[in-house]
Amino acid sequence: MFSLRIWGDRGSMPTPGPDTVLFGGNTSCLELRFDGRLVIVDAGSGIRQLGDHLMKTDIKKGPIDADIFITHTHWDHIMGFPMFTPIYVPGTKLRIRGPINYEDDSLESIIGSQLSYRYWPVRQEDLAAKIEYEQIKESRYDLGGGLNVYSKYLNHPILCLGYRFEYEGRSLVTMYDTEPFINVFPTDPADPSYDEDAAREGDAAAADENAKLHRFMQGADLVVHDAQYTAKEYIAGKIGWGHSSYEHAINAAHKAGVKRLLLFHHDPNRSDTELQELELFYQGKLAGRSGLAVEMAREGSTYKIEV
Protein backbone atom coordinates (compact mmCIF):
# COMPACT_ATOMS: atom_id res chain seq x y z
CA MET A 1 0.00 0.00 0.00
CA PHE A 2 1.21 3.47 -0.94
CA SER A 3 -1.06 6.24 0.29
CA LEU A 4 -1.27 9.87 1.30
CA ARG A 5 -3.53 11.38 3.91
CA ILE A 6 -3.70 15.11 4.34
CA TRP A 7 -3.79 16.48 7.89
CA GLY A 8 -3.07 20.08 7.00
CA ASP A 9 -3.07 21.96 3.70
CA ARG A 10 -3.45 25.61 4.68
CA GLY A 11 -0.68 28.12 4.07
CA SER A 12 0.87 30.58 6.48
CA MET A 13 -1.38 30.28 9.55
CA PRO A 14 -4.10 27.97 10.90
CA THR A 15 -7.51 29.28 9.88
CA PRO A 16 -10.31 27.70 11.94
CA GLY A 17 -13.89 28.82 11.40
CA PRO A 18 -17.02 28.21 9.37
CA ASP A 19 -15.35 29.20 6.07
CA THR A 20 -12.71 26.47 6.16
CA VAL A 21 -14.67 23.36 7.10
CA LEU A 22 -14.48 21.63 3.73
CA PHE A 23 -10.83 22.13 2.79
CA GLY A 24 -9.49 22.50 6.31
CA GLY A 25 -7.69 25.14 8.30
CA ASN A 26 -4.61 23.32 9.60
CA THR A 27 -1.16 24.09 8.23
CA SER A 28 0.99 21.58 6.33
CA CYS A 29 1.16 17.97 7.40
CA LEU A 30 1.10 14.89 5.19
CA GLU A 31 0.92 11.27 6.33
CA LEU A 32 2.48 8.84 3.87
CA ARG A 33 2.16 5.08 4.21
CA PHE A 34 4.39 2.62 2.44
CA ASP A 35 2.82 -0.64 3.57
CA GLY A 36 3.77 -0.78 7.23
CA ARG A 37 6.04 2.21 7.12
CA LEU A 38 5.06 5.71 8.27
CA VAL A 39 6.57 8.86 6.79
CA ILE A 40 5.38 12.34 7.73
CA VAL A 41 6.03 15.46 5.69
CA ASP A 42 5.99 18.66 7.74
CA ALA A 43 4.91 19.37 11.29
CA GLY A 44 2.40 22.16 10.75
CA SER A 45 -0.66 22.40 13.00
CA GLY A 46 -2.17 19.36 11.25
CA ILE A 47 0.34 17.08 12.97
CA ARG A 48 -1.59 17.45 16.24
CA GLN A 49 -4.53 15.42 14.93
CA LEU A 50 -2.21 12.99 13.16
CA GLY A 51 -0.52 12.37 16.52
CA ASP A 52 -3.86 11.73 18.21
CA HIS A 53 -4.81 9.38 15.40
CA LEU A 54 -1.55 7.44 15.78
CA MET A 55 -2.18 7.14 19.53
CA LYS A 56 -5.53 5.47 18.81
CA THR A 57 -4.44 3.18 16.00
CA ASP A 58 -0.73 2.53 15.45
CA ILE A 59 0.23 2.45 19.11
CA LYS A 60 -1.68 -0.81 19.52
CA LYS A 61 0.89 -2.45 17.25
CA GLY A 62 3.87 -1.03 19.14
CA PRO A 63 5.76 2.23 19.69
CA ILE A 64 5.51 4.91 17.01
CA ASP A 65 8.44 4.82 14.62
CA ALA A 66 8.45 7.42 11.88
CA ASP A 67 10.58 9.42 9.48
CA ILE A 68 9.64 13.09 9.37
CA PHE A 69 10.75 15.21 6.42
CA ILE A 70 10.49 18.94 6.99
CA THR A 71 10.24 20.97 3.77
CA HIS A 72 11.61 24.12 5.42
CA THR A 73 11.57 25.74 8.82
CA HIS A 74 9.04 28.52 8.26
CA TRP A 75 6.76 28.54 11.25
CA ASP A 76 3.63 27.16 9.57
CA HIS A 77 5.60 24.00 8.73
CA ILE A 78 6.93 23.29 12.23
CA MET A 79 4.42 24.92 14.63
CA GLY A 80 2.50 21.72 15.41
CA PHE A 81 5.49 19.80 16.67
CA PRO A 82 5.00 20.55 20.41
CA MET A 83 1.45 19.13 20.16
CA PHE A 84 2.47 15.90 18.45
CA THR A 85 1.56 13.52 21.27
CA PRO A 86 3.98 10.68 20.37
CA ILE A 87 6.95 12.87 21.43
CA TYR A 88 5.79 12.48 25.03
CA VAL A 89 5.49 8.71 24.81
CA PRO A 90 8.45 6.50 25.82
CA GLY A 91 9.52 4.21 23.03
CA THR A 92 8.67 6.60 20.19
CA LYS A 93 11.42 6.86 17.61
CA LEU A 94 11.53 9.80 15.21
CA ARG A 95 14.09 10.65 12.59
CA ILE A 96 13.59 14.27 11.58
CA ARG A 97 15.27 15.50 8.42
CA GLY A 98 15.11 18.90 6.83
CA PRO A 99 17.08 21.79 5.40
CA ILE A 100 18.40 24.76 7.30
CA ASN A 101 18.86 28.11 5.72
CA TYR A 102 22.48 28.66 6.48
CA GLU A 103 24.93 27.11 8.82
CA ASP A 104 24.59 28.93 12.13
CA ASP A 105 21.64 27.16 13.73
CA SER A 106 20.98 23.44 13.75
CA LEU A 107 17.69 21.86 12.70
CA GLU A 108 17.35 20.57 16.24
CA SER A 109 17.64 24.03 17.74
CA ILE A 110 15.28 25.61 15.20
CA ILE A 111 12.49 23.05 15.70
CA GLY A 112 13.32 22.14 19.28
CA SER A 113 13.50 25.71 20.58
CA GLN A 114 9.70 25.76 20.37
CA LEU A 115 9.94 23.40 23.33
CA SER A 116 11.48 25.80 25.78
CA TYR A 117 9.85 27.36 28.82
CA ARG A 118 9.47 30.71 27.09
CA TYR A 119 7.03 29.16 24.58
CA TRP A 120 5.88 25.90 26.07
CA PRO A 121 5.60 24.18 29.46
CA VAL A 122 7.79 21.20 28.50
CA ARG A 123 11.41 21.40 27.43
CA GLN A 124 12.88 19.51 24.53
CA GLU A 125 15.33 17.86 26.96
CA ASP A 126 12.41 16.34 28.89
CA LEU A 127 10.73 14.60 25.95
CA ALA A 128 10.28 10.85 26.29
CA ALA A 129 10.73 10.09 22.59
CA LYS A 130 14.04 9.28 20.99
CA ILE A 131 14.49 11.92 18.31
CA GLU A 132 17.33 12.12 15.81
CA TYR A 133 17.80 15.20 13.68
CA GLU A 134 19.59 15.35 10.38
CA GLN A 135 20.21 18.51 8.37
CA ILE A 136 19.86 17.58 4.76
CA LYS A 137 20.56 19.14 1.39
CA GLU A 138 19.82 17.93 -2.10
CA SER A 139 20.36 14.24 -1.97
CA ARG A 140 18.97 10.76 -2.28
CA TYR A 141 18.05 8.52 0.64
CA ASP A 142 17.49 4.83 0.57
CA LEU A 143 15.16 4.29 3.51
CA GLY A 144 15.21 0.54 2.99
CA GLY A 145 12.39 -1.80 2.02
CA GLY A 146 12.37 -0.40 -1.51
CA LEU A 147 11.57 3.17 -0.44
CA ASN A 148 13.75 5.88 -1.96
CA VAL A 149 13.49 9.59 -1.26
CA TYR A 150 15.01 12.34 -3.37
CA SER A 151 15.29 15.90 -2.13
CA LYS A 152 15.46 18.97 -4.38
CA TYR A 153 15.77 22.64 -3.57
CA LEU A 154 12.73 24.66 -4.60
CA ASN A 155 12.38 28.43 -4.93
CA HIS A 156 11.32 30.02 -1.66
CA PRO A 157 12.72 32.91 0.41
CA ILE A 158 14.60 30.40 2.56
CA LEU A 159 16.07 27.08 1.52
CA CYS A 160 13.16 24.70 1.04
CA LEU A 161 13.22 21.11 -0.15
CA GLY A 162 10.75 19.26 -2.33
CA TYR A 163 10.65 15.48 -1.85
CA ARG A 164 10.12 12.70 -4.32
CA PHE A 165 9.12 9.37 -2.77
CA GLU A 166 9.53 6.33 -5.00
CA TYR A 167 8.11 3.01 -3.96
CA GLU A 168 7.43 -0.09 -6.02
CA GLY A 169 7.52 1.80 -9.29
CA ARG A 170 5.18 4.61 -8.15
CA SER A 171 6.01 8.12 -7.13
CA LEU A 172 4.68 10.99 -5.04
CA VAL A 173 6.28 14.43 -5.13
CA THR A 174 5.89 17.41 -2.82
CA MET A 175 6.49 20.73 -4.58
CA TYR A 176 5.87 23.31 -1.92
CA ASP A 177 6.62 26.04 -0.87
CA THR A 178 7.77 27.24 -4.24
CA GLU A 179 7.33 29.47 -7.23
CA PRO A 180 8.96 29.43 -10.66
CA PHE A 181 12.54 30.68 -10.80
CA ILE A 182 12.93 34.03 -12.52
CA ASN A 183 15.92 36.14 -13.43
CA VAL A 184 15.99 38.65 -10.56
CA PHE A 185 18.56 40.80 -12.35
CA PRO A 186 17.52 43.66 -14.65
CA THR A 187 17.17 42.57 -18.30
CA ASP A 188 16.20 45.92 -19.77
CA PRO A 189 19.27 47.75 -21.11
CA ALA A 190 17.53 51.02 -20.24
CA ASP A 191 17.60 50.09 -16.53
CA PRO A 192 20.38 52.09 -14.81
CA SER A 193 21.63 48.98 -13.01
CA TYR A 194 21.55 46.79 -16.15
CA ASP A 195 24.56 44.53 -16.50
CA GLU A 196 24.81 42.49 -19.66
CA ASP A 197 26.66 39.56 -18.08
CA ALA A 198 24.31 39.39 -15.09
CA ALA A 199 21.24 39.58 -17.34
CA ARG A 200 22.45 36.73 -19.54
CA GLU A 201 23.66 34.52 -16.71
CA GLY A 202 20.46 35.20 -14.75
CA ASP A 203 18.29 34.12 -17.68
CA ALA A 204 20.33 30.94 -18.11
CA ALA A 205 20.27 30.15 -14.37
CA ALA A 206 16.49 30.60 -14.08
CA ALA A 207 15.90 28.41 -17.16
CA ASP A 208 18.24 25.71 -15.84
CA GLU A 209 16.59 25.67 -12.41
CA ASN A 210 13.08 25.51 -13.86
CA ALA A 211 14.18 22.61 -16.04
CA LYS A 212 15.41 20.82 -12.90
CA LEU A 213 12.04 21.33 -11.17
CA HIS A 214 10.35 19.96 -14.27
CA ARG A 215 12.54 16.85 -14.20
CA PHE A 216 11.97 16.43 -10.47
CA MET A 217 8.23 15.88 -10.86
CA GLN A 218 8.34 14.29 -14.29
CA GLY A 219 5.96 11.38 -14.67
CA ALA A 220 4.92 11.39 -11.00
CA ASP A 221 1.73 9.60 -10.04
CA LEU A 222 0.79 12.27 -7.52
CA VAL A 223 2.15 15.77 -7.00
CA VAL A 224 1.27 18.00 -4.05
CA HIS A 225 2.02 21.46 -5.44
CA ASP A 226 2.05 24.92 -3.93
CA ALA A 227 -0.87 26.92 -5.33
CA GLN A 228 -1.66 29.83 -3.08
CA TYR A 229 -2.69 32.44 -5.63
CA THR A 230 -4.51 32.94 -8.88
CA ALA A 231 -2.23 34.06 -11.71
CA LYS A 232 -3.78 37.51 -11.46
CA GLU A 233 -3.04 37.78 -7.74
CA TYR A 234 0.48 36.46 -8.28
CA ILE A 235 1.37 38.97 -10.96
CA ALA A 236 -0.30 41.83 -9.09
CA GLY A 237 2.09 41.66 -6.15
CA LYS A 238 3.14 38.24 -4.93
CA ILE A 239 6.15 37.52 -7.12
CA GLY A 240 9.08 36.64 -4.91
CA TRP A 241 6.93 35.53 -1.97
CA GLY A 242 7.79 31.91 -2.70
CA HIS A 243 4.34 30.61 -3.69
CA SER A 244 2.87 29.56 -7.00
CA SER A 245 -0.28 30.35 -8.88
CA TYR A 246 -2.85 27.68 -9.73
CA GLU A 247 -2.10 28.27 -13.39
CA HIS A 248 1.62 27.66 -12.93
CA ALA A 249 1.10 24.50 -10.87
CA ILE A 250 -1.33 23.08 -13.42
CA ASN A 251 0.80 23.96 -16.46
CA ALA A 252 3.98 22.65 -14.85
CA ALA A 253 2.33 19.37 -13.80
CA HIS A 254 0.73 18.93 -17.23
CA LYS A 255 4.02 19.49 -19.03
CA ALA A 256 5.80 17.07 -16.70
CA GLY A 257 3.30 14.33 -17.47
CA VAL A 258 2.02 14.14 -13.90
CA LYS A 259 -1.05 11.95 -13.42
CA ARG A 260 -2.73 13.59 -10.45
CA LEU A 261 -2.21 17.04 -8.97
CA LEU A 262 -3.29 18.29 -5.56
CA LEU A 263 -3.32 22.07 -5.26
CA PHE A 264 -1.94 22.80 -1.82
CA HIS A 265 -1.00 25.58 0.61
CA HIS A 266 -4.36 27.34 0.41
CA ASP A 267 -4.25 31.03 1.14
CA PRO A 268 -5.55 31.74 4.67
CA ASN A 269 -8.10 34.15 3.22
CA ARG A 270 -9.51 31.66 0.71
CA SER A 271 -12.95 30.37 1.80
CA ASP A 272 -14.42 26.96 1.06
CA THR A 273 -16.80 28.54 -1.44
CA GLU A 274 -13.97 30.22 -3.31
CA LEU A 275 -11.85 27.07 -3.35
CA GLN A 276 -14.79 25.04 -4.69
CA GLU A 277 -15.41 27.58 -7.43
CA LEU A 278 -11.75 27.69 -8.39
CA GLU A 279 -11.54 23.89 -8.42
CA LEU A 280 -14.50 23.63 -10.79
CA PHE A 281 -13.09 26.43 -12.94
CA TYR A 282 -9.71 24.80 -13.47
CA GLN A 283 -11.18 21.31 -13.89
CA GLY A 284 -13.43 22.75 -16.58
CA LYS A 285 -10.48 24.33 -18.33
CA LEU A 286 -8.61 21.03 -18.41
CA ALA A 287 -11.54 18.82 -19.41
CA GLY A 288 -10.77 17.03 -22.64
CA ARG A 289 -7.43 18.78 -23.05
CA SER A 290 -5.19 16.99 -20.58
CA GLY A 291 -4.91 13.64 -18.90
CA LEU A 292 -3.99 15.44 -15.70
CA ALA A 293 -6.48 15.08 -12.82
CA VAL A 294 -6.58 18.22 -10.69
CA GLU A 295 -8.21 18.93 -7.37
CA MET A 296 -7.83 21.14 -4.35
CA ALA A 297 -6.19 19.35 -1.42
CA ARG A 298 -8.76 18.54 1.26
CA GLU A 299 -7.81 18.06 4.90
CA GLY A 300 -8.76 14.57 6.06
CA SER A 301 -8.76 13.06 2.57
CA THR A 302 -6.81 9.94 1.71
CA TYR A 303 -5.33 9.34 -1.73
CA LYS A 304 -4.19 5.90 -2.76
CA ILE A 305 -1.31 5.57 -5.16
CA GLU A 306 -2.01 2.23 -6.76
CA VAL A 307 0.95 -0.12 -6.78
Please, which residue, 58 or 203, has the CB nearer to another protein?
203
Please, which residue, 120 or 241, has the CB nearer to another protein?
241
Residue from the set 55, 110, 122, 159 that interacts with another protein by CB under 8 A? 159
24 Cβ partners below 8 Å, 6+ apart? 6, 8, 9, 10, 46, 298, 299, 300
82 Cβ partners below 8 Å, 6+ apart? 114, 115, 119, 120, 122
Query: 162 in the Ramachandran plot: left (φ > 0), alpha (ψ -120 to 50) or beta?
Result: beta
57 binds another protein (CB under 8 A): no
The site map against another protein for 64-103 (x = CB under 8 A) is -------------------------------------xxx
Residue from the set 186, 247, 259, 300 that interacts with another protein by CB under 8 A? 186
Burial class (CB in 10 A: 0-12, 13-18, 19+), 287: exposed
Please, which residue, 37 or 156, has the CB nearer to another protein?
156
Judge contact between 10 and 306, C-beta under 8 A.
no
Point out which span in 119-127, 180-188, 268-276, 297-305 binds another protein (CB under 8 A): 180-188
The site map against another protein for 138-157 (x = CB under 8 A) is xxx----------xxx-xxx
Query: Could you tell me what percentage of the chain is helix, strand and coil, using 3-state DSSP and rounding each to the nearest 5?
Result: 30, 25, 45
204 binds another protein (CB under 8 A): yes
Could you give the strand order of the β-sheet that contains 161-167, starting from the edge strand earlier in sequence? 139-144, 147-153, 161-167, 170-175, 222-226, 260-264, 293-296
Please state the closest distance from residue 139 (CB atom) to another protein, in A: 5
Please state the closest distance from residue 164 (CB atom) to another protein, in A: 12
Say how many residues make up the chain: 307
181 binds another protein (CB under 8 A): yes
Please state the closest distance from residue 140 (CB atom) to another protein, in A: 7
Residue from the set 55, 122, 198, 293 that interacts with another protein by CB under 8 A? 198
